[in-house]
Structure 1
Amino acid sequence: MSTGEEQTVSQYIQHHLTNAAVGEGFWTWHIDTIGWSVFLGLLFLWGFRKAAKKSTTGVPGKWQCFVEMCVEFVDTSVKDSFSGKSKLIAPLGLTIFVWVFLMNLMDLIPVDWLPMAAQQIGGAMGYEPHNVYMKVVPTTDLNTTLALALSVFLLIIFYSIKIKGVGGFVKELTMQPFNHWAFIPVNFILETVTLIAKPASLALRLFGNLYAGELIFILIALIGYFQLPLHFAWAVFHILVIVLQAFIFMMLTIVYLSMASEEH
């Protein structure tokens, strides 16, 4: 990336891995992550709503076929994995799968294109180009993956209390796996760790895979003229990672909510 002065390799990598942020400390907002997340979410809503409004019982168009395939795929996954009854789970699964997939898909855009465009715009607005940052893959930001995982965690608590009641939920935390009052402290520690590990594993798995993929793209960009073949080869492989991570996040969400909906 050209900033008007030569950059070292470490400066180049650090620049690409730095978010555009406002605020300080706990109240720091990553505006590039928020902006791209909201944009991709609205893109998902607009695209699927358009397909729904123009759907036909006759020969469907290509976009309608794609949307129907996504809906059917998620619907089948929910029926196979969710044991309870809820009108929320299938739409939630579809939203998670498509939204996470779109955020992951931004990783395939060459790493310099959008940051360089942001630098040009920032320079025109009077900012120093090397102080203009732009990360375009929301899932390479731990804040995004943690926010998604915490939302799932709150739903787990909600469904656990809704199905089992407060007493049943407390009993589940204190009387399993050892069903004896003497083991209540041990059970509570084990079950609490298990409960907290669910959102933590969701967030860290998605973040780790996408962050590593983005870092490899950045290292490939440092090669120069020979980067295009390597970028293409890594992108072809990375497509599998992008789809797989969206699918895993969706399936684990469904499974965790199914476990929370079971009565013991």
Structure 2
Amino acid sequence: MKRGIILHLANKEIWLHESIFTTYLLLVIITIGSIIISKKIKQADVHEKPKGVVHLVEIVVEAINGLVIQAMGERNLGFAPYMLTIGVFLAFANLSGLVGLVPPTSDYNVTLALALITFVLIHFFSVRTKGIGGYLKQYAEPLPLLLPINVLGEIANPISLSFRLFGNILSGALIMGLVYSGLSQISKILIPFVAWPLHAYFDVFSGALQTFIFIMLSMTYINSNMADEEEIAARKAKKQGK
């Protein structure tokens, strides 16, 4: 049995899985919310203390900036918009189970796609800061014999990153499904007393925790593969010497 939305267009059946539908729905909500917040920020008086949603956004932005500076250094503050975007999407996705939707992050296709975006950024900025030679050289360190292990380690990063998020969210969704099924057989009166407190853990706490972990691991992986300030300075000096 197919779960989701089935569209019939031009004698063709188009199947949208529940997680895909939720993903598009959340993207629309986040986009509309971003446009509204952007207008509010533009209309805000810089000489007055921010209020309401503008103040909340300021707190979130400052928190993300602080995390990026702490994990990657102030020179990599440019990664903050990406981390904030990923964080907002994951927060909405992980919490969508509270309103009866299927969390997109309970679908491995979604978590793998997010992990692959981070994977591309890891290697793009590694090449950009270290150069092709330095990038390839790191796979033969500390010994050339470790080349296959180092390559496998890099391939394992997006897999572990995606499975960690997917496994935690999917397990929470499955447990809540079993809880609702069991309570409906016993007494629906028990649902507010048993199921709702469990939502606080599996959806709110676990969802927020997995969002934080995904962001922190993304920053750690990207930063650890980039050249440090000394290596960048040495590369610049070498180019100038030529």
Same structural fold, with TM-score higher than 0.5 when normalized by the shorter chain: yes
Where does 1:88-103 land on structure 2 (aligned, <5 Å)?
88-103=78-93
Q: Is the 8 A contact 1:84 1:261 kept in 2?
A: no
Q: Are residue 177 (structure 1) and residue 163 (structure 2) matched? A: no
Identity of aligned residues (%): 31
Query: Which ranges in structure 2 are unaligned for 5 or more consecutive residues?
Result: 8-13, 232-242
AA aligned opposite 1:66? L
Of structures 1 and 2, the one scoring higher in RCO (CA 8 A, sep 6+) is 1
Q: What is the CA distance between 1:90 and its match in structure 2?
A: 0.6
In structure 1, the partner of 2:216 is: 251
In structure 2, the partner of 1:130 is: none
Q: Over the residues paired in the alignment, what is the CA RMSD in angstroms? A: 2.4
CA distance in 1, matches of 2:97, 2:226: 35
3-state DSSP class of the match of 1:60? coil
Q: Are residue 204 (structure 1) and residue 163 (structure 2) matched? A: yes
Q: Are residue 52 (structure 1) and residue 17 (structure 2) matched? A: no
Q: Is the 8 A contact 1:156 1:256 kept in 2?
A: yes
AA aligned opposite 2:88? V
Q: What is the CA distance between 1:228 and its match in structure 2?
A: 2.5
User: 1:152/1:241 Cα in 2 relative to 1: closer, same or farther (>3 Å)?
Assistant: same
User: 1:177/1:107 Cα in 2 relative to 1: closer, same or farther (>3 Å)?
Assistant: farther
Q: What is the CA distance between 1:109 and its match in structure 2?
A: 2.2
Q: Is the 8 A contact 2:69 2:76 kept in 1?
A: no
Q: Is the 8 A contact 1:21 1:32 kept in 2?
A: no
Q: Are residue 42 (structure 1) and residue 28 (structure 2) matched? A: yes
Deviation per CA, 1:92-142: give whole Å up to 9, x if none.
0000111101000112124xxx6xxxxxxxxxxxxxxxxxxxxx2100000
Identify the match of residue 177 of structure 2 among 210, 218, 224.
Answer: 218
CA distance in 2, matches of 1:88, 1:41: 23
User: 1:149/1:199 Cα in 2 relative to 1: closer, same or farther (>3 Å)?
Assistant: same
Q: Is the 8 A contact 1:48 1:67 kept in 2?
A: no
Q: What is the CA distance between 1:19 and its match in structure 2?
A: 5.7
Q: Are residue 68 (structure 1) and residue 58 (structure 2) matched? A: yes
Q: What is the CA distance between 1:50 and its match in structure 2?
A: 2.0
Question: Which segment drifts farther, 63-72 or 199-208?
Answer: 63-72
Deviation per CA, 1:165-209: give whole Å up to 9, x if none.
1111110011x133xxxxx2x321121122112111110010011
CA distance in 1, matches of 2:64, 2:114: 18
3-state DSSP class of the match of 1:256? helix
**How many residue pairs align between the two structures?**
213
User: 1:109/1:71 Cα in 2 relative to 1: closer, same or farther (>3 Å)?
Assistant: same
Question: Which segment drifts farther, 235-244 or 145-154?
Answer: 235-244
User: 1:201/1:30 Cα in 2 relative to 1: closer, same or farther (>3 Å)?
Assistant: farther
Q: What is the CA distance between 1:21 and its match in structure 2?
A: 7.9
Q: Is the 8 A contact 1:149 1:202 kept in 2?
A: yes
In structure 1, the partner of 2:19 is: 33
User: 1:41/1:260 Cα in 2 relative to 1: closer, same or farther (>3 Å)?
Assistant: farther
In structure 2, the partner of 1:78 is: 68
Deviation per CA, 1:218-258: give whole Å up to 9, x if none.
01111111222211110122211111111111111111111
